[in-house]
Structure 1
Amino acid sequence: MSGPEETDLPGGWEAAAAEYVLGLLPEDEIRAFEAQLAQDRELRQDVEAWEQYFATLTDDIAPVEAPPQVLRRTEQTLFGAPRKPLWRQLLPYLGGAVAAALIAWAAMFGGLLDRGSDAPHLYAELDTPSRGLELLAHYAPDSGTFMVRHDAGDLPGDRSLEIWMIPEEGDTPISLGLVDPAVQLTQIPVPQDLGLQMPGAAIAISEEPLGGSPTGQATGPILSLGQLAPREEDAAE
């Protein structure tokens, strides 16, 4: 064996090689042995010889399969607890999403969330004779949709027409959105609390800079004003 012939390890390098293979060396002696192992080819051969020798001692022993619980504990000790499959990790969140979807479906189609399906539709004519502009406002309580239909006249190309709702009990205009010049029928979803204020409310159309009022209040001229009410044929039903 090359390298130093003497060692502080009990029994010399050859005995230390046997103890190293069996895992019997203390931690501080392992560090010293591995430092010598890295530079001593004959010592590495001793380690390989001891590994082969100790392996032959188990040749006549019949293999015994470990019970599943022992195997699981051993694997957890060596490799840590196994990770759950991704679908099992997501299962609690998927369950919550499915439950939320079922609740939403029941609310929309089972009558739990009634936006006023029995309430009449409301209309207001919003005409501007000086410009030949004719608009019709329409609120559908069953779907919670506010609509403005462009029936006649040219919309300004460099300005926006903004829609305002003034509740019957109040004088502060609330912006509902802008008239879309690209379509004949502008449709705007309305929150339920705002929809409850539609009956008897006034609807106004103001001319604003492109994109709407920069202040949250009407800044341009009021082109038309009308009050939401059921049509006569609807009210008669």
Structure 2
Amino acid sequence: MNDLETKIALITGGTKGIGYGIAEALMEEGISVAITGRSKSTADESAKELSSKFKNKARVIGIEADVRDYESQQNAVARAIKEFGKVDIVIANAGIGHFAPVDVMSLEDWKEIIDTNLSGPFYTLRAGMDQLKKNKGYFITISSLAGTNFFKGGSAYNASKFGITGFTQAAMLDLRDKGIKVSTIMPGSVSTHFNGNEPDAEDDWKIQKEDIGKLVVDLLKMNPRTLPSKIEVRPTRPPSK
């Protein structure tokens, strides 16, 4: 995408972790962003932090929104349009993880994962569809290597990530003739607060959130004729087992 400084991005789950790292990378390029989170206070606080870092380069707003609710996603897009005039880039990043053997996985945990990790990106895409079509935009999902590699105790998480990988690839085929680029990024271990982790020096071997942010920027800068539609990314040197 040319002229990145004129672009506007909406990032779900942008208050911390990968979403926050993507917001940092985009704002460094001059892209103004709207970040969403389930808590208004958290969204506002993260937006305030980002604004203080990049106030001379780009603008940012925080929006309270729940990806599990389509109307909430519509409202998030409408708020971004009201603030910035348009949306060019939609990044479906919000996600959660519950891990348990399938015979004890609770119905509530299953539903929350599927609603957040799989239905959420669909709602986000549908809510932003008119803007993406109008502006020949870019839709990016954050899947996982768990979307191609299953593991014990991961029935719900694997299902959601296998699903979002397939969903995004099919959406890519549906939308490329309409001028919309679509990609999914599938990270391995990332140093974030995901699933209660507290990042520290022991996580230095992992992918860092800024690495995913840089990858998103690289996608946006790719020549328009070329589309990396599915990107696997993993730590270079994981600890030996």
Fold equivalence (TM over 0.5): no
> Hey, which of these two has a bigger chunk of strand by percent?
1
- Bigger relative contact order (CA 8 A; separation at least 6): 2
TM-score (norm 2): 0.20
Q: Based on CA coordinates, which of the two structures has the bigger radius of gyration? A: 1
More helix by share: 2
